[in-house]
Amino acid sequence: MKIKRFISLVLLLYINSIDTNAQDSIKQKLIDKKNQFHDGLVHLKRDLHQHPELSGKEKRTSKIVQDYLLDLGLEVRTDFGGYSVVGILKGSKEGKKIAWRADMDAALHVFGSNPNAKPKAAHVCGHDIHTTIGLGIANTLSKMKDRMIGTVYFIFQPAEETFKGAKSMIENGLFQEIHPDEIFGLHVFPTEVGTVSSKPNELFAYQRRIKLTFDTTIDQNAFRKFLKELLEGFIRHKANGEPWSLVDLNDPKYGLSNPKTIYNDYFILGSNISTRNGDNTISFECTYYETDSTRLDSISKTITNTILDSEYAKFYIKTSFTAERPTVLNDSKLTEESLTILKGLYGEEKVKTFYGQIPYSNEDFIFYQNEVPGVMFLLGGSNKEKGINALPHTSEFEVDEEVIPLGVNIFSNFLTKRIIINFDKS
């Protein structure tokens, strides 16, 4: 009897050892497969980074995105204007419809301090990262489509830098063909890699570039000084801060994570005054940023009226704008729900509610939000230890590539909380 028990025990231990070895083997295969997936995404991002395409010229990028989505088995549409691509992932049953948007274009940027250097096309705003993460999310969710109740639309947008892409897609019937209940997107941001932030309502300051046109007989130097003093008279900010400086963005006392942030209630200038010559005219241009939308019209009217009451009135021709950019306007209820979900998944150290409005930035994501409740997230891409600073549109701009698998994981998990996934399905 004792011998039988001993043999049974040996057999049980042997079987368990086989099971353990098999489990370890399966686990390692899953890890290898996951690493292979992430390595593939990093390779894809590097390829996009090495082949930047300006707004309206995203032909190669668009083809890569289209082929990737087709390989995943998604329905793909390319008829919404420009080089846009929309991938449609349908679940096993009808349900909630969600859109995820990523922009694809590069920007012109002057590298170095040479004033005569020509600008080059470059991914200095992270759109290569946005595109890669969007494709990674599509890949991840496509593996769950048999368990998914609902539809996810992946919108890959051209021409964000010119503020034309979103408008063009909408004007070309995007929301006549797809009908999302909500829309999400992200932008890389100079917070620590893998952190997520957002806030209800205005995410950025409102941007205007005013253009004042005069007869060429005006005394240009004298008027430039007059205009500089006039514009500086509008500058408004909290007494303890300088919102035109970005050094305090992440400061716990003055930065965006503090309800008393200095990046709240301000008017700042975003550029020096530049001139442009026309036919017997000269124009003076300057960009400014205002957090209060109700002040925008009065600012331009005051500038014009002050000029008309001055010695320069006889040279004045007109006031116009070369840029009038609204701000991303996150749906308040949806933002609160989304941040609650993300904090529940990753904790409040990794997911932050921001306050105030970010200067010098903007996004044409607002045009989708005018049609559908939406939220834009800020995904940290900086890494102090590696000396990486993900501040867009700077010569030092760089993104820690660890943000790619992190971003895919974070927002794939998030979307599974917004749409029904039947994890019990065999």
pLDDT, tens digit (0-9, with 9 covering 90-100), for 42-99:
999 999 999 999 999 999 999 999 999 999 999 999 999 999 999 999 999 999 999 9
Q: Radius of gyration (Cα) for the chain, nearest Å?
A: 26
Residue 405 lies in a domain: yes
Residue 417 lies in a domain: yes
Q: Are residues 222 and 121 in the same domain?
A: no
Residue 286 lies in a domain: yes
DSSP 313: G
125 is in an annotated binding site: yes
Residues of the chain with pLDDT below 70 are 1-32, 423-426
Q: How many structural domains does the chain have?
A: 2
Residue 2 lies in a domain: no
Q: Are residues 171 and 218 in the same domain?
A: no
How far is the first Cα of the chain from the last one, in angstroms, to the nearest whole number?
Answer: 42
As given in the structure block, the two tokens for residue 64 are 């890569």
Residue 332 lies in a domain: no
Domain boundary among 325, 341, 374: 325
Q: Are residues 59 and 188 in the same domain?
A: yes
Q: Are residues 321 and 183 in the same domain?
A: no
Q: Are residues 256 and 378 in the same domain?
A: no
Q: Are residues 103 and 155 in the same domain?
A: yes
Residue 330 lies in a domain: no
Q: Are residues 97 and 240 in the same domain?
A: no
- Per the CB < 8 A criterion, the answer to whether 311 and 303 are in contact is no
pTM above 0.85, yes or no: yes
Q: According to the model, what pLDDT value does residue 6 have?
A: 54
Residue 164 lies in a domain: yes
396 is in an annotated binding site: no
Residue 252 lies in a domain: yes
Domain boundary among 276, 305, 325: 325
List alpha helices for 208-325, DSSP H: 220-232, 296-308
Q: What is the CATH number of the domain that holds 230?
A: 3.30.70.260
Domain of 243?
Answer: 206-325
393 is in an annotated binding site: yes
Task: State how far the Cα of 226 lies from the Cα of 229, in Å rounded to an integer.
Answer: 5
In the beta sheet, which residues pair with residue 388?
Answer: 383
Task: State how far the Cα of 104 lies from the Cα of 84, in Å rounded to an integer.
Answer: 9
187 is in an annotated binding site: yes
Q: Are residues 264 and 317 in the same domain?
A: yes
Q: What is the CATH number of the domain that holds 68?
A: 3.40.630.10
Q: Are residues 182 and 46 in the same domain?
A: yes
Q: Are residues 321 and 361 in the same domain?
A: no
Q: Cβ atoms within 10 A of the Cβ of 25, count? A: 10
Q: Are residues 108 and 145 in the same domain?
A: yes
As given in the structure block, the two tokens for residue 133 are 């993460």
171 is in an annotated binding site: no
Task: State how far the Cα of 274 lies from the Cα of 322, in Å rounded to an integer.
Answer: 12
Q: According to the model, what pLDDT value does residue 239 have?
A: 84
Angstrom CA distances, 112 to 28, 54, 282, 395, stand at: 46, 20, 30, 7
Q: Are residues 295 and 378 in the same domain?
A: no
Q: According to the model, what pLDDT value does residue 308 have?
A: 98
Domain boundary among 325, 340, 374: 325
